[in-house]
Amino acid sequence: MDSLDNYGTHTHPTVKKWLVKHPRFHLHFTWTSASWLNLIERWFGEIMRKRIRRGVFTSVPELVAAIDEFIRLNNKNPKPFVWTKTVDAILKKIMHCTAGLKHHTSC
């Protein structure tokens, strides 16, 4: 069993075919308005950038140990996540990004 976001690759025909051949796997999708997932994705990004990327792991247990160590060290000096942008700045950025999409015929 695995939990996934609603990104379209999880429903690609190749993935569906693989799942049929591996019936012990059951995918559970989060709902599309799962804002809490943004924080989880941010946390996974931190682990990726600060510990996993450019690392060399010769086994899954070694990778798990590296992640556990990162979490242990990170939790020694926890810091709250502080939003650095104002609501207006965020909305302005969204408007800027979505304006570019209007020029694409596939949007």
The domain ranges of the chain are 1-34, 37-107
CA angle 97, 102, 99 (to 5 degrees): 30
Tell me what pLDDT residue 34 has. 64
- For residues 49, 55, 60 and 65, what is the CA-based torsion angle, rounded to 10 degrees? -70
Cα–Cα distance measured from residue 84 to residue 39, given in angstroms and rounded to the nearest whole number: 15
Between residues 8 and 95, the one the model is more confident about: 95
- Kindly indicate the confidence band of residue 107, based on its pLDDT and cuts at 50, 70 and 90: very low
Tens of pLDDT along 25-40? 877 776 666 677 778 8
Cα radius of gyration (the chain): 19
Tell me what pLDDT residue 103 has. 64
CA angle 99, 104, 107 (to 5 degrees): 85
Q: Where are the beta strands (DSSP E) in 1-107?
A: 2-4, 27-29
> Helices 36-47 and 60-76: crossing angle, nearest 10°?
110
CA 97, 98, 99, 104 torsion-angle sign: positive
- Kindly indicate the confidence band of residue 7, based on its pLDDT and cuts at 50, 70 and 90: low
Tell me what pLDDT residue 87 has. 85
Tell me what pLDDT residue 9 has. 64
Tens of pLDDT along 30-86? 666 667 777 888 888 999 999 999 889 999 999 999 999 999 999 999 888 777 888
